[in-house]
Amino acid sequence: MLSSTAKNLYWMGRYLQRAKTTARLIEATQRMALQSRGKEAEAVVAIFGMEDEFRHALAHNNAQRQGGPGRKQLSDLVDFLAFDENNPSSIVSSISSARRNAREERNNITVDVWESLNGLWLELNAKLKGTRTGVDRGALIESVKKQAVMIFGAAQVTLLRDEAYNFLQLGAFLERADNTARILDVKYHRLMPDGSPHAENLDYFAWSEVLACIGAVRTYRRIFRSSLDPMKIAELMMLRRDVPRSVHHCLWMVDLSMRELADTYGTHGEADRLAGELHARLRYARIDQVFEIGLHKFLGGLRDDIATLSDEIGRQFLLD
């Protein structure tokens, strides 16, 4: 497979997963805004590492209108993360980039995948064209979330299990692993600044929204059958391989895709070693040991290594 083809499919997976994660985060943030004092915007932009960019966008918007920052700030956050075409990580930008990658690889994806993605892109363009005052932002974000699930579903049931599928999976699961680690790190330490594994006075709604960011509220109840506990939430989001959005599950799938590609090409490189090492780290980790190290320190090292793995995949396969 040409490196340009592999690159398009890899980034198609990453952009689609980024759009889906952003839609879930916006929904959770809007629900939290009904219960708290307007600090949700700061937490969400911290997850994406875009604090400076958001402050610049907020200052620009405040200069054009009058009013306090409370609700307006939340509205600005939604526009910045969902509909700002100048933000390369916004939902609109991510879907547009994924669609551009998919269009280049029409021969390597199925009609179902292309039509689902192209339909979402057309819907976004049609609703955001011209003035946006009448746009139902909540309904549009819900539509993005549902249609992203449909696109990944179409890929699962229609794509040939070959190199194209492996690169798409590799991008999607690497992005998902990084997203979940970021969400857990920022959200956990906003609620527990000292990194303690247990809370005396638990904010049930706030911790439920942490789980909602990865769609795992009911999953938590099925696994633990107990009241919410910060340590168990961290365990579910990091170490449970049977939870599809946990870091462990994602790195397991990354390692699996790398092994499939190694069998196809008959070679191994540094990216293969890193993928295996990261998977093993999560497979054999225990949550009590993680908190002994420090959750923030553990997640920080993990995110750095995920970024290193992404760079090595670029060098090994994508000629970056």
Range with the lowest mean pLDDT among 198-212, 215-229, 255-269? 198-212
Q: What pLDDT is attached to residue 63? A: 62
Rounded to whole angstroms, the Cα distance separating 1 from 209 reads 42
The residue type at 58: L
Stretch 250-256: mean pLDDT: 98
Residue 110: count of CB within 10 angstroms of its CB: 15
Average pLDDT of span 5-26: 95
| Structure tokens that stand for 220 in this block | 């938590």
Please report, in angstroms and rounded to a whole number, the separation of the first and last CA atoms in the chain: 15
Among the ranges given (16-25, 32-41, 290-299), the one the predictor scored with the smallest mean pLDDT: 32-41
pLDDT at 35: 65
CA distances in angstroms from 217 to 174, 204, 211, listed in the order given: 23, 11, 5
Is 50 exceeded by the pLDDT of residue 71?
no
- pLDDT of the residue at 211: 94
Q: What local confidence, expressed as pLDDT, does residue 270 receive?
A: 95
Q: Hey, what are 19's tokens?
A: 């759009």
Q: How many CA atoms lie within 13 A of 27 on its CB side?
A: 22
pLDDT above 70 (res 41): no
Report how far residue 152's alpha carbon sits from residue 53's, in angstroms, rounded to the nearest whole number. Answer: 30
Q: What is the pLDDT of residue 55?
A: 80
Place of tokens 């008959």: 266
Please state which of the ranges 112-121, 131-140, 182-191, 307-316 shows the lowest mean pLDDT. 131-140
Q: What percent of the chain shows pLDDT beyond 70?
A: 91
Enter the tokens of residue 310: 């992404």
Classified as helix, coil or strand, 214 is: coil
Q: Mind spelling out the 3-state secondary structure of 234-298?
A: HHHHHHCCCCCCCHHHHHHHHHHHHHHHHHHHCCCCHHHHHHHHHHHHHHHCCHHHHHHHCHHHH
Name the average pLDDT for the chain: 89
User: Which amino acid type is present at position 163?
Assistant: E
State pLDDT tens for residues 300-318. Answer: 999 999 999 999 999 999 9
Cβ atoms 245, 220 nearer than 8 A: no
The answer, yes or no, to whether residue 65 has pLDDT greater than 70, is no
Neighbours of 267 (CB within 10 A): 9
Q: Which tokens sit at 156?
A: 């699962």
Output the pLDDT for position 36. 59
pLDDT of 39: 63
In the chain, where are the structural domains located? Answer: 1-158, 160-320
69 vs 159, residue with greater confidence: 159
pLDDT in tens, 149-197: 999 999 999 999 999 999 999 999 999 999 999 999 999 999 999 988 9
CA dist 232 to 178, 181, 236, Å? 20, 15, 6
| CA gap 67, 53 in Å, rounded | 21
Percentages helix, strand, coil for the chain (3-state, rounded to 5) are: 75, 0, 25
Q: Is the pLDDT of residue 76 over 70?
A: yes
